[in-house]
């Protein structure tokens, strides 16, 4: 069949070039999808207490062990996890936490949080639980992208060089949203 | 226990807890050649389920065998993982 003939019937059909172009587009899309078989996880870490610093770091480092691509966007109090000095002094709040193995009313007295923190740190040590610093180092080593929300860093007056080496700075909500849109798993902690 | 393989390396994560047995196994297995077997010694009882789950979901690794043994009066969970 000649492609030169311009009958009205032929005009209704896409040209060979158009079809070829479309096939190439689809092939490129399939190749992209095949490349993209590794899972992605995006975590937003908003809490800076010792107990709440663990879940995002444990999930992030374990997901990296699965070969997943992981980003953790740290914002508000979650920033303290990546702040080198503050991360070594994260505290547990005894107030409003009925699971603490001490009378809840004690938490409201001066030194209540210090007592709860001391207790948890002792348990962490006795149980061979990794420290926050160890989990951060391991996560970075395994390629987890730990991100500092620039807006909250400015709000809290943290300088870029106060965070652990290897974290990503100068990122904002749009970066986090893009990561969430690309991810198979999205978590807000 | 029938072992039809020899471990090229041993990873000792006794005394360490979640997530370290899995995370350190991944790091150690990546340092091995394809076909090599890693022996993992752990005291974390959760390592049995966790290493199984990890090996199921992770490309390039195969969990060959898991077991339990007593060492110095402590239960040790053994895992044999091959780099595929």
In terms of Cα–Cα distance, which of A37, A24, A157 is closest to A86?
A157
- Three-state SS at A93: coil
Let me know how long chain A is: 189
pLDDT at position A94, please? 77
CATH of the domain at A119: 3.40.1260.10
Range of lowest pLDDT (A40-49, A109-118, B23-32) = A109-118
Q: With an 8 Å Cβ cutoff, are B19 and A66 in contact?
A: no
| ipTM for this model | 0.81
- Each residue of A121-131: pLDDT tens digit? 898 888 889 99
What residue ranges do the domains of chain B occupy? 10-74
Distance separating alpha carbons of residues A98 and A156, to the nearest angstrom: 30
In terms of Cα–Cα distance, which of B73, B55, B58 is closest to B14?
B73
> Please, are residues A169 and A95 in contact by the beta-carbon 8 Å criterion?
no
Q: With an 8 Å Cβ cutoff, are A67 and B58 in contact?
A: yes
The DSSP code for B33 is P
Q: With an 8 Å Cβ cutoff, are A141 and B18 in contact?
A: no
Distance separating alpha carbons of residues B75 and B19, to the nearest angstrom: 19
In this predicted model, which residue has the larger pLDDT, A57 or B4?
A57
Q: Residues 6 to 65 of B: which have CB under 8 A from any A CB?
A: 15-20, 22-23, 25-27, 43-44, 54, 57-60
**A119 is a domain residue:** yes
Written in H, E and C, the secondary structure of A108-160 is HCCCHHHHHHHHHHHHHHHCCCCCHHHHHHHHHHCCCEEEEEHHHHHHHCCCH
Residues 6+ apart with CB under 8 A from A152: A75, A76, A79
pLDDT at position A6, please? 54
Half-sphere CA count of B20, side-chain side, radius 13 A: 21
The DSSP code for B43 is -
Q: What is the CATH number of domain B10-74?
A: 3.30.110.40
Please give, rounded to a whole number of angstroms, the shortest distance from the CA of B4 to a CA of chain A: 26
Active site includes B24? no
Instruction: Identify all chain B residues contacting A62, using CB atoms and an 8 Å cutoff.
Output: 19, 22-23, 54
**A126 is a domain residue:** yes
Q: Is B74 on the interface with A (CB under 8 A)?
A: no
Average pLDDT of A79-107? 84
Q: How many domains does chain A have?
A: 1
pLDDT at position A53, please? 96
Q: With an 8 Å Cβ cutoff, are A128 and B22 in contact?
A: no
Domain assignment of residue A123, given as a range: 40-188
Q: Which two tokens stand for residue B76?
A: 């040790």
Please give, rounded to a whole number of angstroms, the shortest distance from the CA of A2 to a CA of chain B: 50
Instruction: Identify all chain A residues contacting B60, using CB atoms and an 8 Å cutoff.
Output: 67
What is the Cα Rg of chain B in Å? Answer: 12
Distance separating alpha carbons of residues A150 and A156, to the nearest angstrom: 10
In terms of Cα–Cα distance, which of A146, A41, A145 is closest to A84?
A146
Q: With an 8 Å Cβ cutoff, are A58 and B18 in contact?
A: yes
Distance separating alpha carbons of residues A26 and A44, to the nearest angstrom: 34
| Catalytic position from the list B12, B17, B18, B45 | B18
Q: Which residue has the tokens 């969430």?
A: A180
pLDDT at position A58, please? 97
**A118 is a domain residue:** yes
- Each residue of B2-47: pLDDT tens digit? 567 899 999 999 999 999 999 999 999 999 999 999 999 999 989 9
pLDDT range class, residue A10, cuts 50, 70, 90: low
């Amino acid at each position: 069949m000649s492609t030169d003939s311009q009958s009205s019937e032929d005009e209704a059909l896409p040209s060979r070039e158009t079809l070829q172009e479309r096939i190439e587009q689809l092939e490129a899309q399939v190749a992209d999808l095949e490349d993209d078989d590794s899972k992605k996880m995006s975590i937003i870490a908003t809490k800076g207490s010792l107990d709440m610093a663990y879940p995002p770091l444990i999930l992030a480092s374990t997901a990296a062990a699965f070969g997943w691509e992981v980003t953790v966007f740290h914002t508000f109090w979650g920033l303290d996890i990546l702040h080198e000095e503050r991360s070594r002094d994260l505290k547990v709040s005894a107030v409003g936490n009925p699971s603490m193995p001490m009378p809840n009313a004690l938490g409201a007295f001066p030194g209540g949080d210090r007592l709860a923190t001391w207790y948890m740190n002792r348990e962490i040590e006795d149980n061979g639980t990794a420290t926050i610093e160890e989990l951060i180092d391991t996560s970075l080593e395994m390629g987890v992208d730990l991100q500092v929300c620039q807006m909250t860093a400015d709000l809290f007056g943290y300088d870029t060089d106060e965070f652990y080496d290897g974290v990503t700075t100068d990122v904002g909500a749009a970066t986090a949203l893009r990561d969430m849109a690309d991810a198979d798993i999205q978590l807000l902690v | 226990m029938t072992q039809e393989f020899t471990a090229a390396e041993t990873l000792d994560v006794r005394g360490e807890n979640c997530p370290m047995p899995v995370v350190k196994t991944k790091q150690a297995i990546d340092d091995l050649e394809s076909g090599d077997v890693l022996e993992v010694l752990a005291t974390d009882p959760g390592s049995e389920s966790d290493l199984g789950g990890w090996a199921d979901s992770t490309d390039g690794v195969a969990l060959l065998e898991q077991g339990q043994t007593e060492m110095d009066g402590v239960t040790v969970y053994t895992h044999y993982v091959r780099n595929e």
